[in-house]
Amino acid sequence: MNDESGRDSGRIRIRVMDYFAQQFINGVSLGAIYGLIAIGYTMVYGIIGMINFAHGEIYMIGAFIALMAVVAFGISEGGLVVLALLSALLVSMALTSLYGWVLERVAYRPLRGTQRLAALISAIGMSIALQNYVQLTQGARVKTLPPIIRGGFEFQFGNTEFIVRLSTLQILIVVVTLALMAIFALLIAKTALGRAQRACQQDQSMAALLGVNVDRTISLTFVMGAALASVAGLMVTLYYGVIDFFVGFIAGVKAFTAAVLGGIGSIPGAMLGGLLIGLTEAMWSGYFSIEYKDVATFSILVIVLIFLPTGILGTPEVEKV
Amino acid sequence: MNSPHAASLRDAALVAGIAGILAFPFVGLLLTTEGTAPTLSTRFPEFAGAVVVIFFGRLGISAARRGHGLLPLVLGLAMAAGGAFSLVVEATGLGASGTAIWHAFVPGTFLSTVACAGGIAIAGLAGRNYLMQGRQPAERTPLPMGQLLLWLGIALAGFAILLPLLPGVDRRLIDVATLVLTYVMLGWGLNIVVGLAGLLDLGYVAFYAVGAYSYALLSVTFGWSFWVCLPVAGALAALFGILLGFPVLRLRGDYLAIVTLGFGEMIRIILLNWYDFTNGPDGITNIGRPSFFGLPFASKPEQGTESFHTFFGVAYDPVHRLIFMYYLILALAFVTNAFTLRIRRLPIGRAWEALREDEIACRSLGVNPRNTKLSAFAIGAMFAGFAGSFFATRQGFVSPESFTFIESAILVAIVVLGGMGSQIGVAVAAIILVGLPEYFRELQEYRMLAFGMGMVLIMLWRPGGLLTHREPTIRTRPAPA
Amino acid sequence: MNPPTLLSVEHLTMRFGGLIAVDDVSFSVEQGAIHALIGPNGAGKTTVFNCLTGFYKPTVGRITLHSPESRTPFLLEQMDDYRIVREAKVVRTFQNIRTFPKMSVLENLMVAQHNHLMRASGWTFLGLIGAPSFRHAEAESVERAEYWIGRTGLAEYADTEAGALPYGEQRRLEIARAMCCDPVLLCLDEPAAGLNPSETEELSELIGYIRDHHHISVLLIEHDMSMVMGVSDHIVVLDYGQKIAEGAPETVRNDPAVVQAYLGSDDEDEAGESEDTTS
Ligand SMILES: Nc1ncnc2c1ncn2[C@@H]1O[C@H](COP(=O)(O)OP(=O)(O)O)[C@@H](O)[C@H]1O
Ligand SMILES: [Mg+2]
């Protein structure tokens, strides 16, 4: 009897490990998606110091356009899935970027230099308007997409019946995210655009004096953020297979949390923050309760802001008096 | 063709082009789900209609902006006529017997309405240009804003008091007015936090929820009456304000906004999931109704007791309760207003405004920023708690659904659009943002879309809000003559 | 006999990342005197003020205030900014003006008497019911504000929005506001910046008046050499965060290190300014 219970607890221990590994994999995939959205928040906040409240909606629009493109290109299993997915990605990035550009042009640029609150209110207004625009034109019901990319790896540790799954899609999500991260990091470190962005971040009027086109730089920042959000949109559509007009709100808040957690203004920070938020959410749902997973995220936001206001990778700053 | 018109045309074409690209996936295509497989269908007539309306609308607006009279006038009238025509056709069913061709030209109620309204606006602008041609803009003398606002306030208050007695006022209008007043009261409460103290609170609805649930639970569990629960609910909401505010009030403006948003959502999620305590998504029902100084508004009073209509010897009429509710919220709103007007003139009120203007300067004058912010937060929360109690007793039912983020957003919009800190501004903004859409319920579907766009447009037009006038809270004695 | 020391700053050091803005600076301020802190732009003067008034926490150093109103000295480096004003009564103005722009001049001065008025209003409760004791205290505060409005020549602006005032008037408003806090030590950060010569003259008189008639010590940061030399009893010179000279105006003026710091080839702006003042 003793022997048996010993074996049981051993099995349970392995199962505990398996379960953890599974939640870890899920958390990383989710975190990659949050990270991609968070980059948009962090870049915009870094450059004009405002929370682009409508960024979550841009992501939602990206997801819709991506789903439409996927359907339009008639992607089913087999065939040139990769090629078709790539075209869907490009179409969605292009259109969503245009949304980002117009958003800044119409709702934020005229308010630059007035009260901070005015731009934030305008952003909230835009968020409400875009949500309802999509609801009105596409209906309130969820849109579904059956899985396109199947397959993956299965692991089994020991002689348990619990199987840890790592799907191709999850690998794809992480790989694409890492690739995009690398491209953007290079873009910002090496190109004139990146230099202009950093200049505007430090001091806009000084940058303008030195010949940086501030308006264009800010526009491009919005375009880049929107493009990344649309990638996240496509991946969420593939991953979960359901979207609706409301997905932008909560994802937006979480991605913003990720940006703050990583250190606002820092792109690697946004990725790191995204990963941590994704992991927290997966672990919390796995071990505690799914219902309260959003509460867990918000609590992290509050705790981070109180004890670590500059985030993990942000630069500490003494308020200049 | 002369060049200004060419420029207008090019501009309109560009705008219509971009709008066309943006609108194509959402207006031109329709995603539906059959089983689990998504299918895509097209809606080209609607799409084409939208692009055409945008093109001519933009053309008209830019021409009117350049001061032209004739072109925008003709364009505007044509658009208005076209829109009105297709609305009439649709309403009367003339097109029903028609063919596909007809449907290709009538793109739907929404677009027709937009075309009609936009056309009228453009024609109006153009008409003004026409009249103003060759005339100097008249010299404007600055208005005595303080006096004007005072009179506007008195007029609004008088109107509000007399409203239920006016001829032609029906139940629906009283209902809408009660709702508007609830928002006015909440707006005034939030005005203390956002307008005076400058703390952007995007989770104000949380305190509204705390008030409503406190009242609901106290009333259902202990059977306490409204007048006992009201102060308790206010105190509980204020306590929540202090608990939530304490750790986060030193955060910078936008961070505070996001954290308060998070708190708002957290409270809603907890209300939704804490089944034993809140009954989850089903909400709490059978909440006690307030009585008129002990007289309930029941059609059949219990044996041996009197109710409102038996006591006053009038016939039972459910409208009595509605009117009573109306006056109840009116009184609560007046109390909120009087309190705010008074506290603005006290040291704490001045410290709030100073904190909004410049926190560093405040600290350099010995003002404790944390306590000062906390007091604003708590008092604002208290009024939300009162309003929440009223909400619970009016509905007789509360559920987490009523306390979503959108409510907080509407309230912040009311305060900021009204003109941060202006009491009358809040009232006017509440009427515009809540009253109008509520009264025109037919447009329900488009309500939130119009609401969001309205927020953006008003901000673009007046970034400081509608009424920005501010009276000093204290003056030097007038110099002896 | 020397007048008693009011403020002593010992080994004050402030680092921002790699930058040492203030480097081991010690000096003291005597009661009832006007001390000046001078030095080229970026020398660290404002940073010293920020440490004194609690806006920055110094990396190293001790700042002690021997207030005549209190038996025990205050250790300013350990106190929060608002408590330094409330309890130790060290009050400052800002180099870049910080008024409450939408509030009237009188309201600005009423905010400065916040703590006194809060107590008088019974933490708002007495105020809400309109208690006579509060009304009385408020009237007194208005009187005090009016006194300083008159002193600083702002009478015609008393009920005007502070943001609408001309530049020189805003500078004086800040001084009036600081005086309404009833300071023991008044710290003025470049009060003459942007003023014309006659305004600067009036300002010197005002500062002298504050010392002589209200017996308040003043610590002054200023660029205008003729003003500093004319008004101060004692001068401390900073350069690159370090104290390079100290003493009476005459001694400092002729100190070779000071001349070097101001006329040094790398800082032409400052050179121009000091030439102006010597001509
Ligand atoms: N909050 C801060 N963060 C980083 N550097 C600062 C900060 N405050 C001041 N400094 C730096 O400290 C140095 C001294 O500044 P300051 O005291 O303002 O000079 P001064 O008032 O003598 O002109 C400058 O190089 C300035 O950039
Ligand atoms: Mg300085």
Which candidate from B350, B361, B366 shows the least CB-CB separation from C98?
Answer: B361
Beta strand C90-92 with C185-189 is parallel
Q: Using the 8-state DSSP alphabet, how is residue A165 labeled? A: E
- Whether B31 has a pLDDT exceeding 80, the answer reads yes
Listed by start position, the domains of chain A span 8-307
Checking phi first, is residue C264 left (phi over 0); if not, alpha (psi -120 to 50) or beta? beta
Q: Does A51 touch chain B (CB under 8 A)?
A: yes
Backbone angles phi, psi at B81, to 5 degrees: -65, -45
pTM: 0.87
Report pLDDT digits (tens) over B53-92.
Answer: 889 888 888 877 777 777 778 888 888 888 787 777 766 6
Q: Does C94 touch chain A (CB under 8 A)?
A: yes
Q: Does C47 touch chain A (CB under 8 A)?
A: no
Q: What is the mean pLDDT of chain B?
A: 85
| Closest atom, ligand 1, to C-alpha of C189 | 21
Backbone angles phi, psi at C63, to 5 degrees: -125, 115
Residues with CB under 6 A from ligand 1: A 318, 320; C 16, 19, 21, 39, 41-47
Maximum mean pLDDT: which of A148-152, B316-320, C187-191: C187-191
Which candidate from C16, C46, C94 shows the least CB-CB separation from A318?
Answer: C16
* Dist. CA A321 → ligand 1 center (Å): 9
A248-252 average pLDDT score? 91
**Which domains occur in chain C, in start order?**
5-95+184-270 (3.40.50.300), 100-164 (no CATH)
- pLDDT at site B317: 79
- pLDDT at site C278: 39
* Dist. CA A120 → ligand 1 center (Å): 31
User: Dihedral of CA B104/B105/B106/B110: which sign?
Assistant: positive
d(CA C279, CA C274): 9
Confidence of residue B100 (pLDDT cuts 50, 70, 90): very low
Residue (of C60, C26, C23) closest to C44 by Cα position: C23
Report pLDDT digits (tens) over B18-28.
Answer: 999 999 999 88
- pLDDT at site C277: 41
| CATH T-level fold of A8-307 | ABC transporter involved in vitamin B12 uptake, BtuC (1.10.3470)
d(CA C65, CA C71): 11
d(CA C273, CA C267): 10
* Dist. CA C250 → ligand 1 center (Å): 28
Q: In this structure, which amino acid lies at residue A48?
A: I
> H or E element: which one contains C62?
strand C60-65
- Whether A96 has a pLDDT exceeding 90, the answer reads yes
Confidence of residue B331 (pLDDT cuts 50, 70, 90): very high
- For chains A and B, CB pairs below 8 A equal 172
Report pLDDT digits (tens) over B146-186.
Answer: 788 888 899 999 999 998 888 888 888 899 999 999 999 99
Residue (of B410, B404, B407, B408) closest to B450 by Cα position: B410
- pLDDT at site C235: 94
Residue (of C145, C156, C203, C213) closest to C179 by Cα position: C145
Q: Does B238 touch chain C (CB under 8 A)?
A: no
pLDDT < 70 regions, chain C: 1-2, 263-279
Tokens standing for residue B464: 């400081």
Is residue A290 within 8 A of residue A304, CB to CB? The reply is no
Which CB contacts under 8 angstroms, 24+ apart, belong to B275-282? B277/B217, B278/B213, B278/B217, B278/B400, B280/B400, B281/B399, B281/B400, B281/B401, B282/B399
| Closest atom, ligand 1, to C-alpha of C39 | 22
Nearest ligand, measured from the Cα of C193 = 2
Confidence of residue B442 (pLDDT cuts 50, 70, 90): low
Which CB contacts under 8 angstroms, 24+ apart, belong to A169-172? A169/A29, A169/A238, A169/A239, A170/A25, A170/A26, A170/A28, A170/A29, A170/A239, A172/A235
* Dist. CA C21 → ligand 2 center (Å): 11
What ipTM did this prediction achieve? 0.90
Residue (of B458, B172, B156, B82) closest to B337 by Cα position: B156
d(CA C190, CA A38): 43
- Whether A12 has a pLDDT exceeding 60, the answer reads no
B400-413 average pLDDT score? 91
- Whether A318 has a pLDDT exceeding 90, the answer reads no
Which candidate from C98, C106, C146 shows the least CB-CB separation from B360?
Answer: C98
| Closest atom, ligand 1, to C-alpha of C95 | 21
End-to-end C-alpha distance for chain A, whole angstroms: 72
- Whether B2 has a pLDDT exceeding 90, the answer reads no
Q: Using the 8-state DSSP alphabet, how is residue C80 labeled? A: -
- Give the closest residue (by CA) to ligand 1 atom 14: C44
Q: Does C93 touch chain A (CB under 8 A)?
A: no
From C12, C25, C47, mutation site for ligand 1 pocket: most ligand atoms within 8 A of C-beta: C47
Q: In this structure, which amino acid lies at residue C221?
A: I
- Give the closest residue (by CA) to ligand 1 atom 5: C16
Which candidate from B40, B253, B259 shows the least CB-CB separation from A72?
Answer: B40
- Whether B133 has a pLDDT exceeding 60, the answer reads yes
A251-270 average pLDDT score? 89
- pLDDT at site C85: 95
